[in-house]
Structure 1
Amino acid sequence: MQGPIRSAILRYKCSQVDRFVAGASRGRAIQQKALLDKVGRASSSEFGKLYGFDAIHDIDSFRRQVPITTYEDYRPFIQKVMEGNVEAMFAPNTRVLMFAMTSGTTNEPKRLPVTEKFYKEYRESWQLWGTGVYRDHESLLRRQTLQLSSDWQQEPTPCGVFCGNISGLAATSRPFYMKRIFALPACVIKIRDFAAKHYTSLRLSMASNNVGMFITANPSTLIEFARRATNEAESLIRDIHDGGLSEAYEIPADVRSELRARLRASPKRARQLQRILDRTGQLRPKDVWPRLGLAATWTGGSVGVYLSQLPEYYGDVAIRDHGISASEGRMTIPFSDNTPDGLLDYSHHFFEFIPAEEHGSPDPTVLAAHELTAGHNYFILLTTSGGLYRYDIHDMVHCSGFVGEMPTLRFLNKGRHFSSVTGEKLSEHQVVTAVSNTLADLGLPTCTFTLAPTMAEKPRYELLIEPGPQLQQAQQLATRLQHHLSLVNEEYADKCRSGRIDPVAILEIPPGTWEAFRANRSRARGNFEEFKQPCLVGDMHFADNLPSPLESASARVAS
């Protein structure tokens, strides 16, 4: 019965997508209305009074009253909200559902308020994206969807509202007509250990051959998930045959209890999987789920390096980008397969843009969405119902075109002071802190360095340094640096624990390299003395492109 209901609802939802796309022709007016609505709701808050929200009546006055902001501008206000004072940032009686957790640019992680209004907009945006997927792949309504999410109740705040992952909140509040389409029950998000969660997800989803779509934020997770299926093949097949769930993994007792009804013995399915394993030597998703038609994941920026590996495990599936999204808000909605380009989510947030070449300057040009130029790169400033205004999220995007008055964008990378290979969002400040603490631990002098990502079978970061006393303790240096990076950035620690990033390594570069690098970079502007060594870069080919010094030496890696 739910199949016909889903099809009928899809037809209605498709009309909403059509209205959203058509509405882009009026995007300029809709953007101003979105801005004034958000400012008006918060005008009585402490933050609103501080910045004179009552004096804001259009975009120009908004820019005069509110400077470009970063998370540190909000930290004291968010702390008050976490202590129960919602009027620090919002109107009286505003309901805060949770705080989204993500790494900050300093050693302190970010906690972002998710208000009822923000969450409503979040869900509407994802529904537009999902409707586009099902419109183009209607057969998926008859298949199961495997989606990996994280817990939205990970740690409580002083006011009792939890911090966690907003995707987990969405998993627990799906509409009734969609719940059965998902292969995993919501309780799986309560499994904290990544290996246990992935094993449990495989155990539940592989009991069926009818999975049609796999949704996860990062393509590196798709690769890790597929490899785990083969590595754990014997245990998975036994559990599916017997109706069990391996005791080798740390799974909360209440989750095990809730899952018990789903863990039915299926000798027939176990025999099918065994035949696949005997024939191919693997349990690849493309063989386990022959109806798999779509993988939904990020494709823009540095994560694109994983896409070439997907056909080996998933076959010739379509890829639908999630769009540019973060804990701070969703920014684009892709409506086509196999492209990172998405239409700006112009109806839910207010957007401004800084030309990439001016980002970080004292008085940059700031453009509205309709003022962008196709083919140019920009940094996003975000204003949301979550209490952020002109917020520099440090995302560099490329304007690939327009729909009506609104741009289509693709994600390029985090800003020059960030690196994010699999979503870890390392900041230069965090790297400097970690390296300084590492050298202090080992009693070593400071030195010139750059931390840069590189890609082998998995990505990792390499600390590039010239010969010196640091290299005499290269192994200890790598071990301690890994420890300190994990301390200052919880998402980096999580990606390493889950096997998506290999531990940091030390790369010796020839003596004189940094001098040559400095000379090359500063030659055009004659600012050799003012040149600042980049302590963190996001370019995976950075080490390969360093200039050759007059004095060379063979490089070696210690990890």
Structure 2
Amino acid sequence: MSLKRFLLVRLGRVITYPVRRQLQQFEIACQNPEAVQNELLFRTLRTQADTQFGRDHKFHAIRSVAEYRTHVPVAPYEYVSPYIEKVQNGDTSALLADRRVLMFALTSGTTASRKLIPVTDAYLAAYRRGWNMWGVKMYRDNRGRRIAMRPIVQLGGDPEEFRTAAGIPCGNLSGYTAMVQKRLIKWMYAVPYVTGKIKDAKARYYVALRCSIGRNVSQLMAANPSTLIQLARTLDAEKDQLLRDLRDGTLRADLDIPPDIRAYLTPRMKKDAKRATELSAVASKLGRLYPMDVWPPETTVINCWTGGSMGPYLRQLPQYFGSPPVHDLGLLASEGRFTIPLAGGTSSGVLDIWSHYFEFVPEGEIDSPQPTVLGAHELLEGKSYFILPTTAYGLYRYHISDLVRVTGFQGKTPLVEFLGKGHRFANLTGEKLSEYHVTNAMDAVAKRVAQPVTAYSLAPVWDAQQPYYAIFLEEPDAADVLRLKQFLTDLDSQLGTENVEYAAKRESGRLGALRAAIVPAGTWAKWDRDRLAQTGGSPEQYKHPCLIGDLKFRESMAVVREVTAA
């Protein structure tokens, strides 16, 4: 080991010492989740009691968990959004004891409007603590790969897409945290945070590779593994130009990059003719250039989601990256981090009982008017639940629609894995398409295109090259192919209008164009009868699902042919 490397590793151990102590204390806390959670809940209620939300829900009078559940309903984002709108306009006391909102983290919601989650100092403290504990454990599990204090490839988003009326920035949380990192930490990230402002997908991936290809990368990190697959494909497709830029210290001029971002990046494009020659020889010999040809799998780690619908992408990773360890990032979203995986090779993570108060509703009771509600200490291994977090930044008994399964326990605290967005969502590459998006899009397009639709459902379809969504229509509705193609084009576009994440995934090429999967006449009537017979209930109350999240749904249908958009 070189002296520089030795000193960097020693520095890393000094920096992480407080986090290692914190991790030990957290593991002790996991022995008594009920006490830890109750203390956190009542501390949160006391802190937020004088906010408008706290007064409206009588926080001052709450003395027990039962009273909390009486005063505050289980509710989605729409319930708290009127208070958040006041915060957007500068009235932070409507929802928050904090007088400063650093930003609003944007996420796609269950309606056409994007959700804005207030990010406060308390939010960032909890978010960083969870990341730090996750990171220390991940590094500890991979000591032999010597990944400490080596560069990381991570693509972030735009930390400021727009500002509220009160001047508060709204954007991507990962982009914001990258922007406010300390200088030493920024050095470890090969891709500068400003690249999040590059809107063109090809340019964004290319720049990320240009910034990384000459560095001794240790980790490749993205929430959704589809991002890593696209990065790998871009590397191979653009290898000749990338290696020329690496050799010459340039950044190709034909990329769609905002002038100010290009001006920032250009001086940072280092020249490395030796490395370019080495990689050119590799590409000539193999006839390709994949990440595993640039960064050896023996000395790298992949960090991404591994639960839910990620399986098809995870199966493609070895083709491009070899077989480095894959560590799950945990259940985290713009709303916060909810689990901390403390082991590799699993999508399960321990509940972050220090940061949020958690309640759970059994999977089969989520639509019940009076469902069973359980605390973290009451869950059973092997059972599935909808998770309801209460946070220190304005989300209370928040129905985020995340379905999780208990896989074991850390001490007495549940280990849970993410299963999906419940029966109302579909999620191939992070688009989180909801039935609300689908029905709104159909209503809008029906006013423009006279396409007959006897019955329909939209479903995700897995394809190794480019997954897509299909709308399942019956044969008589597909008689006019030209009209159907126009309908598909309009519907595909409208889905992007209803859901900005769907539009982004279509633009980046991670999702293919919408298709029509044509089934025989009468298929849907029989399907509904069979489903009603299986689930019970009365025909009057039965609702045909307009969105089916099952990746294997197409396999169950007798598809005659497919029609693509115009």
> What TM-score do the two structures reach when normalised by structure 2?
0.95
Deviation digits for residues 412-468 of structure 1, max 9, x if unmatched? 010111111111111111100111222221123443110000101222110001123
Deviation digits for residues 370-402 of structure 1, max 9, x if unmatched? 101100100011111220000000000010011
Counterpart for residue 4 of structure 2: none
1:397-412 equivalences under 5 Å are 397-412=404-419
Deviation digits for residues 21-49 of structure 1, max 9, x if unmatched? 22100211111111112222211111111
Kept in 2, the 8 Å contact 1:396–1:415? The answer is yes
What is the distance in 2 between the residues matched to 1:543 and 1:530? 26
Kept in 1, the 8 Å contact 2:451–2:487? The answer is no
Q: Which of the residues 461, 464, 477 maps onto 2:472?
A: 464
Deviation at 1:174, TM superposition (A): 2.2
Percent of pairs with identical residues: 39
Q: Which of the residues 367, 376, 384 maps onto 1:360?
A: 367
Q: Verify: 1:255 aligned to 2:265, yes or no.
A: no
Counterpart for residue 107 of structure 2: 102
Q: Which of the residues 173, 178, 185 maps onto 1:171?
A: 178
Deviation at 1:177, TM superposition (A): 3.8
* Segment of structure 1 superposing worse, 462-471 or 318-327: 462-471
Counterpart for residue 191 of structure 1: 198
What is the distance in 2 between the residues matched to 1:446 and 1:126? 48
Counterpart for residue 227 of structure 1: 233
Deviation at 1:61, TM superposition (A): 1.3
Q: Verify: 1:60 aligned to 2:66, yes or no.
A: yes
Deviation at 1:535, TM superposition (A): 0.2
Deviation at 1:265, TM superposition (A): 1.8
Superposed structure 1 runs of 4+ greater than 4 Å apart:
none
Deviation digits for residues 206-239 of structure 1, max 9, x if unmatched? 012x111011110001100000001111110111
Question: Structure 1 residues 469, 179: CA separation in 2 closer, same or farther (over 3 Å shift)?
Answer: closer
Counterpart for residue 80 of structure 2: 74
1:102-121 equivalences under 5 Å are 102-121=107-126
Deviation at 1:471, TM superposition (A): 4.8
Deviation at 1:185, TM superposition (A): 2.5
Kept in 1, the 8 Å contact 2:485–2:563? The answer is no
What is the distance in 2 between the residues matched to 1:350 and 1:356? 19
Kept in 1, the 8 Å contact 2:247–2:272? The answer is yes
Q: Verify: 1:133 aligned to 2:138, yes or no.
A: yes
Kept in 1, the 8 Å contact 2:249–2:272? The answer is yes
Structure 2 counterpart SS, 1:410 = strand
Q: Which of the residues 31, 35, 38 maps onto 2:44?
A: 38
Structure 1 counterpart SS, 2:309 = helix
Q: Which of the residues 420, 428, 451 maps onto 1:444?
A: 451
**Aligned residues, how many?**
552
Kept in 2, the 8 Å contact 1:449–1:464? The answer is yes
1:421-432 equivalences under 5 Å are 421-432=428-439
What is the distance in 2 between the residues matched to 1:12 and 1:429? 45
AA at the equivalent of 1:390: R
1:246-395 equivalences under 5 Å are 246-290=252-296, 292-395=299-402
Structure 1 counterpart SS, 2:497 = helix
AA at the equivalent of 2:285: R
Q: Which of the residues 25, 32, 36 maps onto 1:26?
A: 32
Kept in 2, the 8 Å contact 1:6–1:178? The answer is no
What is the distance in 1 between the residues matched to 2:252 and 2:445? 39
Deviation at 1:153, TM superposition (A): 1.1
Question: Structure 1 residues 2, 174: CA separation in 2 closer, same or farther (over 3 Å shift)?
Answer: farther
Structure 2 counterpart SS, 1:392 = coil
- Which runs of 5 or more structure 1 residues have no equivalent in the other structure? none
Deviation at 1:490, TM superposition (A): 0.2
Q: Verify: 1:527 aligned to 2:533, yes or no.
A: no
What is the distance in 2 between the residues matched to 1:331 and 1:471? 49
Kept in 2, the 8 Å contact 1:115–1:385? The answer is no
Q: Which of the residues 156, 163, 166 maps onto 2:163?
A: 156
Counterpart for residue 476 of structure 1: 486
